[in-house]
């Protein structure tokens, strides 16, 4: 009975709080309860809704890290645009890298709806304060790496991001719907490239195997630390920012990807990998977490190179930002003084 009364009160407050507000000062406890009840009822949280500070901070952290990952993620692949072996492959790669830029921009916009300042977020990336996905600190050494990135890195990204299309914050969830459609195309183009290499000459197959050997373990690390070591998972799950745990997603990825490697005739570089009939999943070997944390802390093979490249791009783009600001100011002035603008013209 009491629970029903509380539910009715929460329903009234949630849907008619604009009527109640002038007459009733809501305590933060009330606000938190309304917020959580919305989450529990699968109602999306929108930018103007009340939300706990910690929810806002968690989202800004995750969405901006995600945006940075998309932008830094353009670098290892961009490196191969001039060396793609055919016009067809060059066009595909160009389109893919351009998509990643678009993803970064949607995600920065989603972070801005939470009150974050885009320029500050970019500064956090350039000064090494903000994290981005560990995977992009590995080098692309041969052309098959482009296939392996599409197949494994985009494959891991989709596994994680499909659950984010149902995340509790509206703008993030909606951005993820489009991103996932594009990532799915990226994954397929990567696998198609791996097929061309694996079913090609012995040299091409060896390149494909080499790429798989180098990208397999870093791809598994993309899902983050084990659940027992994950600092944000519990709270993020209560807020339905995360719908599946790091380990669950990693297992999903392994289960889907191992048969794909078998079809290619390639060997996954894990001697402990085997199907476990009882669990209905693949068992796999231990991840080298020392390597993971080393990369996350900035000491991976390409961390410095990646930040240098982004800093140079930021500096080279200064004139574009200045020109855009000057144009925006001019437009604003014309709106305020239309007559003066006509005379000046
Ligand atoms: N790399 O408590 P946890 C793409 C950090 S780009 C670096 O489990 P959370 C693509 C984590 O930030 C795809 N750091 O964290 C682009 C935290 O540190 P802080 C990128 C990592 O947030 C171009 C600490 O470890 N995808 O698709 O609950 C070309 C503890 O972790 C990593 C996304 O960003 C890592 N791998 O869960 C091709 C998806 N893992 O912040 C493809 C959105 C963990 O306390 N993000 N850390 O200093 C997420 O879903 C979640 O943030 C994660 C981690 C599952 C990644």
Helix (H, G, I), strand (E, B) or coil at 274: strand
Residue 157 beta carbon below 6 angstroms from any ligand 1 atom: yes
Alpha-carbon distance of 207 to 198, in angstroms, equals 8
What percent of the chain has pLDDT above 70? 90
pLDDT of the residue at 266 = 98
- What does the alpha-carbon distance between residue 170 and residue 39 come to, in Å, rounded to a whole number? 11
Atom of ligand 1 minimally distant from the CA of 158: 27
Residue 336: the pLDDT is 85
Residues of the chain below pLDDT 50: 1-3, 5-6, 10, 17-18, 20, 22-24
What integer pLDDT is reported at residue 305 of this predicted model?
Answer: 97
Cβ 224 under 6 angstroms from ligand 1: yes
In 3-state terms, the chain is what percent helix, strand and coil (to 5)? 70, 0, 25
Which of 76, 149, 185, 224 is the pocket-test mutation for ligand 1 (most atoms within 8 Å of CB)?
Answer: 224
Q: Supply the residue whose CA is at minimum distance from atom 16 of ligand 1.
A: 70
Substitution candidate for ligand 1 out of 54, 60, 65, 152 with most atoms within 8 A of CB: 65
Could you tell me the pTM of the whole model? 0.90
Q: What is the whole-number distance in angstroms between the Cα of residue 222 and the centre of ligand 1? A: 7
What pLDDT is recorded for position 22? 46
- pLDDT at residue number 29: 74
Ligand 1 centroid – CA 65 distance (Å):
7
């Amino acid at each position: 009975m009491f629970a029903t009364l509380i539910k009715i009160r929460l329903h009234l407050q949630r849907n008619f709080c604009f009527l109640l507000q002038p007459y009733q000062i809501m305590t933060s406890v009330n606000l938190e309860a309304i917020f959580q009840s919305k989450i529990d009822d699968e109602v999306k949280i929108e930018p103007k809704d009340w939300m706990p500070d910690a929810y806002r901070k968690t989202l800004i952290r995750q969405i901006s890290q995600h945006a940075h990952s998309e932008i830094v993620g353009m670098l290892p692949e961009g490196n191969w645009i001039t060396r793609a072996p055919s016009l067809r492959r060059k066009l595909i790669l160009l389109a893919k890298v351009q998509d990643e830029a678009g993803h970064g921009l949607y995600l920065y916009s989603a972070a801005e709806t939470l009150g974050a300042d885009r320029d500050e977020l970019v500064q956090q990336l350039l000064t090494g304060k903000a994290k981005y996905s560990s995977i992009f600190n590995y080098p692309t050494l041969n052309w098959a790496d482009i296939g392996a990135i599409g197949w494994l890195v985009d494959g891991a990204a989709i596994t994680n991001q499909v659950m984010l299309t149902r995340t509790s914050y509206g703008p993030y969830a909606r951005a993820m719907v489009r991103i996932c459609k594009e990532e799915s195309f990226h994954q397929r183009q990567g696998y198609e490239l791996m097929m061309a290499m694996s079913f090609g000459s012995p040299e091409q197959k060896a390149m494909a195997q080499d790429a798989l050997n180098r990208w397999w373990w870093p791809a598994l690390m993309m899902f983050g630390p084990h659940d027992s070591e994950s600092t944000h998972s519990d709270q993020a799950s209560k807020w339905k920012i995360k719908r599946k745990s790091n380990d669950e997603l990693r297992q999903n990825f392994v289960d889907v990807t191992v048969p794909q490697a078998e079809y290619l005739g390639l060997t996954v570089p894990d001697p402990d990998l085997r199907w476990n009939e009882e669990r209905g999943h693949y068992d796999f070997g231990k991840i080298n977490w020392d390597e993971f944390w080393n990369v996350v802390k900035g000491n991976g093979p390409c961390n410095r190179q990646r930040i240098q490249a982004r800093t140079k791009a930021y500096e080279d783009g200064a004139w574009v930002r200045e020109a855009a600001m000057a144009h925006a100011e001019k437009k604003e002035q014309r709106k305020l003084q239309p007559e003066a603008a006509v005379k000046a013209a």
